[in-house]
Amino acid sequence: MYSISSGPMLIHLQWTVPSLPTHAIDTPFQVHYPHFSTTAVHSGIVDWWVPISRERAVPVLILRSVSFYGDQVLSRACYDNAIVLWRIEGFSSTDPPPRYSEAPTPQAVISSSSEGQGGFTRSAFVPAISPGIPTQYTRLLEFHTPRCAEQFFMRFKLHHVPGQHAVLAFCNAAGSIFFWDFTRLTAYREVMERLCNSRQDKTTEQLPSWLRSVRRKSEAGGRFTPKNKAASASPVQGCSVNGRNISSETMESWTTRYSMEDPQRPLLAHKTVSAPDKFVGRQVGWSPGGEWCVVVGGSVVLMLKRWAMKS
């Protein structure tokens, strides 16, 4: 069993939780050092919560501002305006847990400057002694959460149960509720691989319903301006699918929401719901079956129904 926590000094800690005793004990067992710690993932303060993941178990059990997503980690910090998905290199919950004596001490510090981040990282999952500086963790994705200002205690929630799409939800400081469907990310990559394959027959390609065309603003007398500046730096070429031309603007809109090629470019929300009254979202929760999403903040409680009633 593993637990991941965070602290006020930008730090993430992963602990190996010992087997719980089945009989009464007088002195609790103390775990002094985590098997992984880093200050390099975020530049802001991470809220303090302790999610737990059992080894060999994939579902997320508890999710606040830092949590397991399978063997990967989702976390958010103040000032960053993004939720980060990252992984601890060498870690797998299916492997035997490391011994407590293998937990790195404060003297075993690996600088993270080579990873493009400041701070330090200590890990029992990647050897500290190697010809170069080993990669202790890898940033995989970022999810754009604008207009959060300098707010603490704003917590996301991931609906992640077998047989359903994993959906990440978060509410910002202006009452905007963002949703990301993780299944769409892998589906989009598969669609793009087929479209980029010169041997693939494009005339029979059926695009998912959520890949919609973007109407050119220039057609309405205005100039098309991409929302994601990082994406606009590398223009996306249009293509033709099933006899229908897909514009570069449409391809760019898809890229800013679904492409996993650039881990430093935060993905825009797949769906945004604006509350009637602006408020600072503090907590998002899901019902066990995913039918309801509950958002709270200030004196506001919103209940959003995920699927419309069938007539």
DSSP structural state of residue 182: H
Q: Where in the chain are the domains?
A: 1-18+31-144, 190-258
- Judged against a pLDDT cut of 90, whether residue 255 lies above it is answered with yes
Q: Cα-Cα-Cα-Cα dihedral of 255, 258, 259, 265, to 10°?
A: 80
Beta-strand (E) ranges in 61-213? 66-69, 72-76, 82-88, 110-111, 120-123, 137-144, 157-159, 167-171, 176-181
**Interatomic CA distance for residues 94 and 55, integer angstroms:** 6
Report the pLDDT averaged over residues 22-26. 88
- Judged against a pLDDT cut of 60, whether residue 48 lies above it is answered with no
Report the pLDDT averaged over residues 260-275. 94
DSSP structural state of residue 202: G
- Judged against a pLDDT cut of 90, whether residue 270 lies above it is answered with yes
Report the pLDDT averaged over residues 149-173. 90
Question: Which pLDDT value is given to residue 263?
Answer: 92
**Interatomic CA distance for residues 305 and 292, integer angstroms:** 5
Q: Which residues contact 308 (CB under 8 A, 6 or more apart)?
A: none
Per-range mean pLDDT, top range of 21-25, 180-184, 212-216, 251-255: 180-184
pTM of the model: 0.78
